[in-house]
A and B are shown apart, each in its own frame.
Chain A
Amino acid sequence: GEDVEQSLFLSVREGDSSVINCTYTDSSSTYLYWYKQEPGAGLQLLTYIFSNMDMKQDQRLTVLLNKKDKHLSLRIADTQTGDSAIYFCAEKGPGGYNKLIFGAGTRLAVHP
């Protein structure tokens, strides 16, 4: 079935690294995405990774993909208070088009 799971909450100190984890079920997923949602706002695309990659780095963001375990992670280096938000992992669903299947989101709280 289609299911993406994430831990619901993460609290980190400002300046530390944050790691948000996600597991997905569809082994045929070709693209996996990370979106950020601030209170009362829509979803902002942070980054994505193609399934033939193990890692992707984009400035403070590092995405790691373990296809064998169907595990995806997002590492945010030097976490700032502005990074406080909900982070959603999403996989491209079956059917040949780019329907996205989202997890429930991980709320990241950054404290001084």
Chain B
Amino acid sequence: DAGVTQSPTHLIKTRGQQVTLRCSPKSGHDTVSWYQQALGQGPQFIFQYYEEEERQRGNFPDRFSGHQFPNYSSELNVNALLLGDSALYLCASSSGQGYTDTQYFGPGTRLTVL
């Protein structure tokens, strides 16, 4: 049973560029959440997708957007990259309607903005 997978593993971009990160949830899961983890800090919630819609969002600007596909996989898009967007981006999946279920994390995508 495959766990949560993310691609790519590492990514290097320059300021002003756009980036797309991808996530496939654990088998049987239908909810995907994205988190940003800056160096030396805990993960910060970006947003959560369920039934192909964003249903909760953290304190992140509109430059951060996402999408969920019918097969429950998800993308995170970041436009107009800033140096401060350099971080580990973690995807987590869960099942059910999302209130009581537990989130399982992928290995993350390390984004470096130069």
Residues of A bordering B, CB below 8 Å: 4, 30-31, 33, 35, 41-45, 48, 88, 90, 93, 95-105
Do B100 and A99 have beta carbons less than 8 Å apart?
A: no
Further pairs besides A43-B92, A99-B33: 12, Cβ < 8 Å: A35-B105, A41-B107, A42-B90, A88-B43, A95-B56, A98-B48, A98-B101, A99-B45, A99-B58, A100-B33, A102-B42, A103-B42
Q: Are B45 and A101 in contact (CB under 8 A)?
A: yes
Residues of A within 8 A of B66 (CB): none
Instruction: Pick the most buried of B6, B42, B44: most chain A CB atoms within 10 A of its CB.
Output: B42
Is B79's CB within 8 Å of the partner chain A? no
Tell whether A43 pairs with B55 under 8 Å between CB atoms, given A97-B98, A98-B101, A99-B48. no
* Complex A-B: 13 CB contacts under 8 Å: A31-B100, A42-B6, A45-B103, A97-B48, A98-B31, A98-B99, A98-B100, A99-B58, A100-B45, A102-B43, A104-B40, A104-B41, A105-B42
Closest beta carbon of chain A to B41's beta carbon, Å = 6
B31-82 interface (Cβ within 8 A of A): 31, 33, 35, 40-45, 48, 50, 55-56, 58
- CA of A98 to CA of B105 in the docked complex: distance in angstroms? 13
A4 neighbours in B (Cβ, 8 Å): 42
Which chain B residues border A41 with CB–CB below 8 Å?
107-108
Contact A98 B42 (CB under 8 A): no
Which B residues are in CB contact (< 8 Å) with A95? 56
A45-B102, A97-B56, A99-B58 known; A88-B45 Cβ under 8 A = no
- Do B108 and A42 touch across chains, with their CB atoms under 8 A apart? yes
User: B42 contacts A104, CB within 8 Å?
Assistant: yes
Which B residue sits closest to A4, measured CB to CB? B42
By a CB distance below 8 angstroms, the chain A residues around B56 are: 95, 97, 99
